[in-house]
Amino acid sequence: MLLSAEHLTIDFGSRRLLDDVNFYLNEGDKTGIIGINGTGKSTFLKILAGGLEPDAGTVARNPNVQVSVLPQNPVMEDGATVLEQVFLHFPSEFRALNEYEAKSMLNRLGLPDYIIQKAADRIDAENVRFEDVLSQLDLQRQAMEKEKEQAAKLRREMEEARAQAEQYRQRIEEERRKATEKAQAEARAIIEQARDAADETFKELNEMRRRQEQAREWVDDNEQRAQLRRKLNEADAALGGRKEDLPPPPPTRDAVIGDTVELTKMGTQAEVVGVNKDGTLQLQAGILKLKAKQSEVRVLEDVTARKKQSAKDKQRAASVSRPFRAAAAKAELDLRGMMVDEALGAVDLFLDNALMGKLETVTIIHGKGTGALRKAVRDHLKKSRYVKEYRPGVYGEGEDGVTVATLK
Over the stretch 128-142, which tens digit does the pLDDT of each residue have? 555 566 677 778 888
Q: Give the whole-angstrom CA distance, residue 91 versus residue 185.
A: 82
23 and 162 assigned to the same domain: no
Residues 138 and 277 in one domain: no
Same-domain check for residues 272 and 381: no
Q: Is residue 79 part of a domain?
A: no
For residue 373, the domain's CATH number is 3.30.1370.110
Dist. CA 189–CA 192, nearest whole Å: 5
In our burial notation (b when 16+ CB lie closer than 10 A, e otherwise), range 231-264 reads: eeeeeeeeeeeeeeeeeeeeeeeebeeebbbbbe
DSSP conformational letter for 26: -
Predicted local confidence at residue 90, as pLDDT: 65
Distance of alpha carbon 327 from alpha carbon 321, whole angstroms: 10
Region of 337 please: left (phi>0), alpha (psi -120 to 50) or beta: left
pLDDT at residue 362 greater than cutoff 60:
yes
CA distances from 314 to 245, 310, 311 (A): 43, 6, 5
In the predicted model, what is the mean pLDDT of residues 35-60? 87
More confident residue, 309 or 163: 163
**What pLDDT, on a 0 to 100 scale, did the predictor assign at position 150?**
92
Are 135 and 26 in a shared domain?
Answer: no
Answer whether residue 213 is part of any domain: yes
Report the amino acid identity of residue 293.
Answer: K
Comparing 234-238, 252-256, 274-278, 304-308, the range with the smallest average pLDDT is: 234-238
66 and 99: one domain? no
Sequence-separated (6 or more) residues with CB below 8 Å from residue 19: 9
Final residue before a domain boundary, out of 74, 98, 114: 74
Domain presence at residue 324: no
- Helices 99-109/113-239 angle, 10° precision: 150
CB 287, CB 211: distance < 8 Å: yes
10 and 145 within one domain: no
> How far apart are alpha carbons 19 and 7 in whole angstroms?
7
Are 145 and 224 within one domain?
A: yes
The tally of domains found in the chain comes to 4
H and E: helices and strands count for the chain: 8, 12
Same domain, 182 and 104: yes
- 99 & 236 share domain: yes
CATH of the domain at 28: 3.40.50.300
Phi, psi of 326, rounded to the nearest 5 degrees: -65, -35
- Give the domain extent around 292: 260-318
- Torsion 63-64-70-74 (CA) sign: positive
Same domain, 154 and 64: no
Q: How far is CA 33 from the centre of its chain?
A: 78
* 95 and 219 within one domain: yes
Tell me, yes or no, whether 304 lies in a domain: yes
Q: How far, in Å, CA of 283 to CA of 303, rounded?
A: 15
Whether residue 252 is contained in a domain is answered as no
Are the C-beta atoms of 296 and 280 separated by less than 8 Å?
A: no
**What's the pLDDT at 157?**
92
Q: Is residue 93 part of a domain?
A: yes
CB-CB contact of 371 with 386 (8 Å): no
The closest alpha carbon to 296, from 270, 334, 265, belongs to 265
Q: Is the pTM here over 0.75, yes or no? A: no
Taking Cα atoms as reference points, which of 146, 84, 88, 145 lies closest to residue 116?
84
263-312 pLDDT, tens digit each: 887 777 888 889 888 888 888 877 778 888 888 888 888 777 777 776 76
Domain contains 35: yes
Residue 249 placed within a domain: no
Do 226 and 264 lie in one domain? The reply is no
**How many other C-beta atoms can be found within 10 angstroms of the C-beta atom of residue 67?**
15
Measured CA to CA, the distance from residue 306 to residue 269 in angstroms comes to 14
In the prediction, which pLDDT does 360 show? 87
Give mean pLDDT, residues 27-45. Answer: 86
| Last residue of one domain, picked from the residues 74, 108, 130 | 74
